[in-house]
Chains A and B, each alone.
Chain A
Amino acid sequence: MILVLIDHDLGELDPLSLRVITAARKLTSDVQAVAIGEVGANLAGVVGEYGAPILHVAKHAALTDYTPAASGRALAQLVETLEPEAVLAAGSPRGNEQLAHLATILDLPMAAECSVISLSKTAGAPHSVTRARWAANLLEEAFVHSDLLIATVLAFSVEAEAVPGAGPAKVEMFEVNLEPSDLLVRVLSRGGESSKGGVTLTDAKVIVSGGRGVGGPDGFAQLEELAGLLGGAVGCSRVVTSAGWRPHAEQVGQTGTKVAPDLYIAAGISGAMQHIAGCKNSKTIVVINTDPEAPIMAYADYAKIGDLHKVIPALTSAIREMKG
């Protein structure tokens, strides 16, 4: 049996969890789910439809909001009862965090961000996984030496598939014993939108980003103008912040902010790996570059070959015209 952690925020399902159920079903027909804290009937319904007939729900008076250490404790107690072959969760910040607590409590290894999982066929032999490293630019083949496999599934590596004819999951509550230390870290309250003024990189629907090709700090004025027109934010590559042309807060990339806007315009950015790691989840990537073979082209949806100093002003004036 494989136990899948269903992550939710105050009862609202993280859809990545459904993909994990599908991933688990590819390994075994016996998949059960577990959720920590109060969940509604809807959630059990969806979980069932995607192939987990049983949803275990951890019950404790203190489990009213996300409490990662307590999640680990609850999972550990459930694992003791159910003795699954594997516990899987989504490769999200929360999924990784909760399973890391579990693995720590059980003193077992954990494999994060797996795109391929292959369970051990014989007792004592290791499980095999393929896991993402370097922001999924490298794949690692690894053995996990443990009877129980604890792993998270690389986000988006599996499409969620509903099981035709499957009904809602049966909810089975289980009591959890928690120490006060398990409850020390918990969400106390929530804030709204980021309080900083303007559109932030993480929130922006459109990002106009510039690289070395912009040529200098002055060149960013045209990017700001375009971003302003599109209601977006300005980003940049690491070279640009290293050169002191733009503040570090605007850096997109593995070493900056990871963004996922609807539109990412990369102007004069060749596409160092660490930059691509930060922008490749954008819905649409448009590249403006003089170099038709810049590495970023491999990740772009659309490209315009040309000097950004000519293309961007032309684009800006075209949009201005449209908007009247």
Chain B
Amino acid sequence: MSTVPSKAKAVVIGAGIVGNSIAYHLARLGWRDLVQIDKGPLPNPGGSTGHASNFIFPVDHSKEMTAITMDSVRQYTELGTFTQCGGIEVARTPERMQELQRRISSGKSWGIEGSRIVTPAEVKALVPYIDESVILGGFYTPGVGVVDSLRAGTLMREKAVEMGALQTFANIEVLGMDVEDGRIRRVRTDHGDIEAEYVVIATGCWSPRLAKMAGASIPLTPAVHQMKDIGPVPFFADSRGDIEWPIIRDMDTNMYERQHGTGLEVGSYAHRPILYTPEDIPSNATAALSPTEFPFTQDDFDLQDEHSLELMPSIIGDENVREKYAINGILSLTPDGMPILGETPEVKGLWTASAVWVKEGPGTGKAVAEWMVLGQSEIDLHSSDIARFHEHQKTTYHVKARTAEGFNKTYGIVHPSEQYESNRNIRLSPFYDQEEALGAEFFETAGWERPFWYNSNAHLLEKFGDRVMPRTSEWEARWWSPIINAEHLQMRETAGVVDLSAFAIFDVTGPAALSVVQKVAVRQMDVAVGRVVYTPVLAENGGFKSDLTIMRLGKNHFRVVTGGAHGMADKKWFSDQLPSDGSAQIFDQTSSFTTIGVWGPLARQILASITSDDLSHEAFKFSTCRVIEIGPLRILASRISYVGELGWELYIPIEQGAKLWDLIWQAGKAHSMIPVGIGVYGTTGRLEKSYRAYGAELETEYNVVEAGMQTPKLKEQDFIGKAAHLRHREGASITTLCSLTVDDHTSSTGEKRYMLGREPILNLDGSPIIDSHGRRSYVTSAGSAPSIGKHVLMTYLPTDQAVMGAKFLVEYLGEQYPVTVAGVGATPLFDPSNERILS
């Protein structure tokens, strides 16, 4: 029996494609004394890599996933383990044809060349064994291919061994992990203990079990993907090698068919969600096939047999083509469909890369290794960050409910605003009942139910008429209402009250509090007590890590307010900067305070009617906060705005929130105040003010200067990303964030169409716009700007093209529409001098 080294720089647990890739990239980036262990044998330890269907369709609506996938293809190709064969996503319905057009657009936005819509006859020409009469067309991507993930993993492992960086041990079972002072110290195995600075859990469906050993949480669930291999197929009799024919994804039936040698693999995501818990996964010894190849359950595949028969009758319908192999393959799925990457918030030094598909394996390994070694990855991974999960999202209930709901959408047509139906009403504001009574349409963020618009405002539609920019196309009208635009216009006339309960709020306190916030924030934090500072937060490379607001409440007391969706990751980022001597602490106050926003020209009058505090412009300056009294309540009022209006955010202990709402509501009646939903707060209000949003405009791939957010003066104090930021300030900005307006919405059918975001921006000749760093121009945010009567698109443009009045095209669902640059940099399209806010 082999014994493991007693010490290591990092222990990588898992020898599937992800673990192998991380081990290799850590070695490539210079780390040594790496130890990799797996419970199973090599080269196939029995995890999901071993039974993967191994094909890669690069186009995804997610920029992050596409980037990781493209990088993976590059790596597989360099390793000689990629075979290009092309692939076609076929459509059986008109809705799917539109979706395929949308995928073309995503492909263009993310830089995938050569994809095109093909007719049924063209599909037939590419894949002669298809019955083209059941399809309406297809989305052909020549770059689709098949990889040998086991071999790629072996090669990467071998390279790391050759570098003298890695030792790999098979058949090692992890028995436990020791955590001391919040940091991983040791992996205990059945072959001895390994002390390590870093531990990476890359064990797919087993990851939650391992994380649990250290007290961390990896919220994924093992789930079944069914696959059937039939053959030999006479048509493939002369096939040599792994694959020669394009892979078909039958999107409307959630299935795929790929030639594999002389056989045909038929896979499905259409069956009922079959979820297990990690404890259910057997060992190599007790499994009938492999631990992640469960016995095939034909009942669940009955319908899929008929669907595949419809599409490929000449093969599937051949009585002599027989099932050679069929499995319920286990893969790891997450509640939001994204991987789980990064350092666990619970344990320093404990990292993971889990719920990663073969198509993303090498790219993920590289990105996570960069993150570990360099502090950030080249590709922005914020959607995959393990720190994104809120507590309730780590529950088995949530993981199972959302994964089950998402499973059958694997090939689904998922609207960008699509809401989950399961596990709702987890976090409710104290005035939820009042909102419901006003006909609120609730959308969920981080478990919070947020009113997106209020049906009680429907009467405003008549008042504003066409200014609400009504949408006739079902796709754009889905998860949207013209009431949003009506609320917007009414707020600009009178005032609106906005539920901001979903804010993540945490306090940084203690003697070192100032130095912590200084280190994180780009802007000067050594300000007077009572100041409110909106600041970018940067990664080491000067790219965006976040943007948020910090209030100085005392000498040693700062309150950080940030968006709910990204709040947990922001909290971890701050926590990571705390000094080890305990001289600063972080307290999560999210559940201590609720927040109500009141904005609009009449906001001051409304609040003044219920407070004796002086709210005048001179007495209560913009960007300041202080405690005021409203009736029986003491409230922290902060004068800022994300909607471009005069007004305040009001922070109140959560149990008094309903009372505050009622008081404001009563006071607002006399001033025609309306309830305003997040549709205004998150989109229309900010877009016409050119306010940026993290995750849309702001990513680590873009910097402060490019986003037009640099201040004239830079603070002297150091902060994370400062060196890079200085370089960005000094150099010429190669790209500039701009606001574009759509000149003509009319499609070829005469219908007005409205872009929803992520569409490619093209030169007038239809060619892509690419800056000198290879970044393409695409719509980072899209939405109505009712005050100016335009549909606004934000996009980065190469600086030499970022000129007021410059004309471009936006491609939307296969058609191109003219757009004009209406704002360069941060200059708002509406109220450019900010008179409203500063009134």
A-to-B contact residues, CB < 8 Å: 212, 239, 242-244, 270, 272, 289-295
Contact = CB atoms under 8 A, between A and B. Distances in A.
A244 B288 contact: no
A321 to B, nearest CB: 29
B437 interface: no
A244 B2 contact: no
A244 B171 contact: no
Given A242-B324, A243-B325, A272-B288, A292 B231 contact: no
Interface in B268-301: 284-285, 288-289
Contacts of B325: 242-244
B324 A291 contact: no
> Which 10 residue pairs are nearest across A and B when measured between Cβ atoms?
A291-B41, A244-B324, A293-B171, A242-B325, A243-B325, A290-B42, A295-B285, A291-B170, A290-B41, A291-B171
A304 to B, nearest CB: 14
Interface in B300-350: 324-325
B231 A244 contact: yes
B80 interface: no
A67 to B, nearest CB: 41
Interface residues on chain B, size class: 20 to 34
Nearest to B2: A292
A293 B40 CA distance: 9
A292 B171 CA distance: 8
Contact of B284 (A239, A243, A270): A270
B595 to A, nearest CB: 58
B41 A243 contact: no
Nearest to B50: A212
13 contacts: A242-B324, A244-B262, A244-B324, A244-B325, A272-B288, A290-B41, A290-B43, A291-B170, A291-B171, A292-B2, A292-B171, A293-B41, A295-B285
Secondary structure at the B interface, as helix, strand, loop or mixed, is loop
A132 to B, nearest CB: 20
A244 B288 CA distance: 18
B324 A243 contact: yes
Secondary structure at the A interface, as helix, strand, loop or mixed, is loop
A291 B169 CA distance: 10
B708 interface: no
A291 B42 contact: yes
B642 to A, nearest CB: 58
Given A243-B324, A292-B2, A270 B289 contact: no
Contacts of A243: 229, 324-325
B272 to A, nearest CB: 25
B575 to A, nearest CB: 41
A285 B710 CA distance: 73
A246 to B, nearest CB: 12
A290 B324 CA distance: 26
A256 to B, nearest CB: 15
Given A242-B324, A244-B263, A292-B1, 14 more contacts: A243-B324, A244-B232, A244-B324, A244-B325, A270-B41, A272-B288, A290-B41, A290-B42, A291-B40, A291-B41, A291-B171, A292-B171, A293-B171, A295-B285
A279 B284 CA distance: 20
Interface in B29-86: 40-44
A237 B42 CA distance: 18
Contacts of B43: 290
Contacts of B285: 295
Contacts of A244: 229, 231-232, 262-263, 324-325
Nearest to A271: B285
Nearest to B151: A215
A203 B779 CA distance: 72
B751 to A, nearest CB: 52
A55 to B, nearest CB: 47
B87 to A, nearest CB: 23
Contact of A212 (B42, B44, B231, B232): B44
A292 B42 CA distance: 10
A293 B171 CA distance: 7
Nearest to B287: A272
A290 B15 CA distance: 14
